[in-house]
Chains A and B, each alone.
Chain A
Amino acid sequence: MSEAVLNGVEHQHDHHPTGIKRWLFTTNHKDIGTLYLCFSLLMFFIGGAMALVIRAELFSPGIQYVDPQFFNSMTTMHALIMVFGVVMPGTVGFANWMLPMMIGAPDMALPRMNNWSFWILPFAFTLLLMTLLLPGGGPAGGWTMYPPLMLQTEHALPFVIFAVHFMGVSSVMGAINIVATILNMRAPGMKLLDMPLFVWTWLVTAFLLIGSIPVLAGAVTMLLTDKFFGTSFFDAAGGGDPVLFQHVFWFFGHPEVYILILPAFGVVSQIIPTFARKPLFGYVSMVYATCSIALLSFIVWAHHMFTVGMPLAAELFFMYATMSIAVPTGVKIFNWIATMWRGEMTFETPMLFAVAFVILFTIGGFSGLMLGIAPVDFQYHDTYFVVAHFHYVLVSGAIFSMMAGAYYWLPKWTGYMYDEKLGKLHFWLSVVSVNLLFFPQHFLGLAGMPRRIPDYSTQFSEWNAISSVGGFVFGFSQLILVWVIIKSARGHGEKATAQVWEGANGLEWTLSSPPPYHSFEVPPKISRS
């Protein structure tokens, strides 16, 4: 690997606007990264509050607190907010903060576009959230927006569609910026295979975004024209086909899963070597595994639609293609374990979250394999088993990696160490409650409880009650994270060194903590050892 030698850089350009103007007009990658991360955290609590409405209603059978229409709005909005408002902006926040520092660049390649990419998001989510105040309420057809159900949405439909378009534009502009930054702005001498794995996973993710988000935009545009402009893309009465929407949606939707999880792989691949005090095992195979996962993600979409009906040959193709993704994913998991093997491991909060990620994401991956087996999926489809599966992947997977990343890089961002005791308390409360929340949902699904219903048969009572208790504990434990961030940001804690962690390697750790306003005004020299 390479070693950076900084050549006595003076950082004298720390002048920047202050107050609201700093945040509105900023073109600085760190400021924009902070904006993305704060936005993601805010949305995490809004989407989380909706999840608590769902879990409160499901605590016991019968209709308790909300009417079924509102319940369906909550499941739809919760998903849209968590996918597009929390995980995507959160990982883009990490990318904004860390990519230029990791590759020795002064900033992102297109700083003004970077500002736009972020500031589109608050408009998009205002449009989405205000639908709750409209006559007929918010969208209630599920985040997948399948017609004809979604077309029955009242006033909320155009708002949701425009919101999704804005989110898409923001994501594509962010992705273009990331590709340009990584391909054109690397420090002299840094080859592609010298880049940290977080940079690699983001390069691949950015291409996935560019290739798949326009497909979602196309699908929802066609939905809009079917509703308001007399077309029949998805209307059987006019010669269209509702199943076409599902194909188009999932052609976007499956790469989207990897858009959410690949940056998480990148974060974990930075953290585990640091706390195992060993270089990442099988770096090149990790890069190839990332690229393979991305390519395969475009040919597996119909595993979401086995029960819709398709030729046997197609079912077999999508089943085997889906199962083949387990190979590169397994490469990654074995490499993380091999990195830890005989390492001098310590378990600070980022490492705890990273190890939990490896274990719990693997559980989510295995239940995904089960769902990928076509004949078995006929039993699991649209049950709580699916809900358990994707929450293991997205909460104890993507969200845990973001928490790991937040603890790992917080001292670098703020210049102060976080409160380790509070961090560990946050971890243990989260890891216990997340399993209490989602593990019983496997049993509920296997026993036949359908997803997206506000009421259920009494036989499902016990596991639902346990799941709801887990949900509330998980939700409220996240307030500890906010407190930890506030404490660190306000300078309560030990002063962080530039390297922060004993085992940390890479260009970002050669900069002071917090780093100067402009990261590398003179590119660092990369020397090979």
Chain B
Amino acid sequence: MPINNKDNNEVATKNKRLAVVLGLISLTIYVGYILAYYF
């Protein structure tokens, strides 16, 4: 997998950014549900 050129680095950054966003959405739902019922 060629990762040394600029294009692929850009894709890798996009992948990581999307993963963080989706992970945060998932975590928010998890914590949100518990807090919503707790309070």
Query: Footprint of B on A, CB under 8 Å?
Result: 13, 106-107, 109-110, 113, 172, 175-177, 179-180, 183-185, 210-211, 213-215, 217-219, 221-222, 231, 233, 244, 248, 518, 521-522
Contacts and interface: CB of A to CB of B under 8 A. Distances in A.
Nearest to B18: A180
B1 A214 contact: no
Given A107-B1, A179-B18, A180-B18, A215 B37 contact: no
Most-contacted residue by chain B among A106, A107, A180 (CB, 10 A):
A180
A185 B11 CA distance: 8
Contacts of A172: 23, 26
A487 B18 CA distance: 41
B33 A109 contact: no
Contacts of A248: 33, 37
5 contacts: A180-B18, A180-B19, A184-B18, A215-B33, A521-B2
Contact of A221 (B15, B27, B34): B34
Given A214-B27, A214-B30, A176 B22 contact: yes
Given A518-B1, A521-B1, A113 B19 contact: yes
B31 to A, nearest CB: 8
Is chain B's interface secondary structure helix, strand, loop, or mixed overall? helix
Interface in B1-36: 1-2, 11, 14-16, 18-19, 22-23, 25-27, 29-31, 33-34
Contacts of A184: 11, 14-15, 18
Contacts of A13: 1
Contacts of B15: 109-110, 180, 184-185
A222 B37 contact: yes
A35 B31 CA distance: 31
Contacts of A222: 34, 37
Most-contacted residue by chain A among B11, B22, B23, B31 (CB, 10 A):
B22
Nearest to A175: B22
A172 B16 CA distance: 15
Contact of B30 (A176, A179, A217): A217
Given A107-B1, A184-B14, A244 B26 contact: no
Nearest to A169: B26
A176 B23 contact: yes
